[in-house]
Amino acid sequence: MKLSACMIVKNEEAMLEHCLRSLEGVDEIIICDTGSTDKTIEIAKRYTSQVFSDFVWCDDFAAARNHAIGKATGDWILTIDADEAVAPGSLALIREAIQTADKAIECRVKSVDSSQVFYNIRVYKNTPEIKWVKPIHNHLNVAATDRCEAMIVFGYSPAHTQDPDRAFRILKKYVEEHPEAGRERYYLAREYWYRKQYNQAVTELDSYFPKASYIPERADAYLMKARCLWALRRGEEARTACMYAILNNANFKEAVSFMAELSWTDNADAWRRFAQQCTNEGVLFARTVAT
């Protein structure tokens, strides 16, 4: 089975080489540059001749990723970003997995400081039926059929500072054009949360919940709402929202720990004991929390 690594990049001279070194052993590296003005293309060409600059950026990550995979000749595709790297030994696990996998393989993904760990589809068959969808926080149009323990480690690229409002801008436009949007409202609320615009975040979350069916995401959304309400000094509402997070997933350690923070002393001690038993099974993002 031939394995192609596909990437989209822009002004990633600080991160790209570390990523490309971790891909030693793949059969093909496809790099689509979307308008770099630094040494990104020069660095890319040290590792592959398959460097393209023919995609015109249009605030649509799915379109860019689909453009990249359209140039791949491998049987399977590994999607990776410039601020990520495949952990040592993980390519062998991917090679093993693609021998028997059906369509799409989840891999472990974690932050460089290990504060976040989750599973995400990163390896999938190179077939016209499998495509990326949605302009931001894009995902494949198929569900995972297999899982392997290969690890991809992500950091934070300095390139993000060049357009810090990119995700916010794309999400706002998408939600305005698609009032029925669900998942995108969750991510838009998160952008408001990052900016400490708590009332706007709560408004987006309240529009999100009637459309939401993915339990891990619903639980995370209720926790976000609880944090926003707590910041707005609406304690009773914050406790209610946090309880909904726990009702969606009783193993959500961060939510149970936050309930301790929201509670009076006697209850807080009990919630901390409960948090120590939580496994984070079924959690969207397992973030490190103190208990």
Residues 35 and 153 in one domain: yes
Q: CATH number of the domain at 178, please.
A: 1.25.40.10
Residue 286: per-residue pLDDT: 84
Section 197-223 average pLDDT: 97
Residue 289: per-residue pLDDT: 72
Six token digits for residue 266: 């006697």
Residue 287: per-residue pLDDT: 82
Q: Please tell me the distance from the alpha carbon of residue 109 to that of residue 116, in angstroms, as a whole number.
A: 8
pLDDT digits (tens, 9 = 90+) for 12-24: 999 999 999 999 9
Residues 188 and 170 in one domain: yes
Average the pLDDT over each of 103-107, 114-118, 197-201 and give the range with the smallest value: 114-118
Give the residue among 7, 3, 8 at the shortest CA–CA distance from 24. Answer: 3
Give the residue among 91, 96, 61 at the shortest CA–CA distance from 78. Answer: 91
CA dihedral 98, 100, 101, 105 (to 10 degrees): -40
Query: Among 127, 160, 193, which residue terminates a domain?
Result: 160
pLDDT band at 291 (very low <50, low <70, confident <90, very high): low
Give the residue among 186, 193, 156 at the shortest CA–CA distance from 171. Answer: 186
Whether 290 has a pLDDT exceeding 70, the answer reads no
Q: Please tell me the distance from the alpha carbon of residue 115 to that of residue 262, in angstroms, as a whole number.
A: 22
Residues 117 and 195 in one domain: no
Query: Among 129, 160, 191, which residue terminates a domain?
Result: 160
Rounded percentage of the chain residues whose pLDDT exceeds 70: 99
Q: How far is CA 160 from the centre of its chain?
A: 15
Section 100-112 average pLDDT: 96
Residues 135 and 236 in one domain: no
Query: Among 145, 160, 175, which residue terminates a domain?
Result: 160
Residues 27 and 153 in one domain: yes
Six token digits for residue 221: 């959304």
Residues 248 and 177 in one domain: yes
- What's the sign of the alpha-carbon dihedral 289, 80, 158, 216? negative
Residue 150: per-residue pLDDT: 97
Q: Decide if 32 contacts 7 (C-beta within 8 A).
A: yes
Residues 47 and 143 in one domain: yes
Residue 259: per-residue pLDDT: 98
pLDDT digits (tens, 9 = 90+) for 22-76: 999 999 999 999 999 999 999 999 999 999 999 999 999 999 999 999 999 999 9
Q: Please tell me the distance from the alpha carbon of residue 255 to that of residue 244, in angstroms, as a whole number.
A: 9
Average the pLDDT over each of 42-56, 158-172, 224-238, 276-290 and give the range with the smallest value: 276-290
For 186-212, letters b (16+ CB in 10 Å) and e give: bbbbbbbbeeeebebbbbbbebbeeeb
Give the residue among 132, 125, 64, 73 at the shortest CA–CA distance from 97. Answer: 125
Residues 275 and 168 in one domain: yes
Residues 10 and 154 in one domain: yes
Whether 89 has a pLDDT exceeding 90, the answer reads yes
Section 158-181 average pLDDT: 94
Q: CATH number of the domain at 67, please.
A: 3.90.550.10
Residues 12 and 154 in one domain: yes
Residues 143 and 223 in one domain: no
List the domain range (segments joined by +) for residue 231.
Answer: 164-287
**Would you call 217 helix, strand, or coil by DSSP?**
helix
Section 147-171 average pLDDT: 94
Number of folded domains in the chain? 2
Residues 107 and 168 in one domain: no
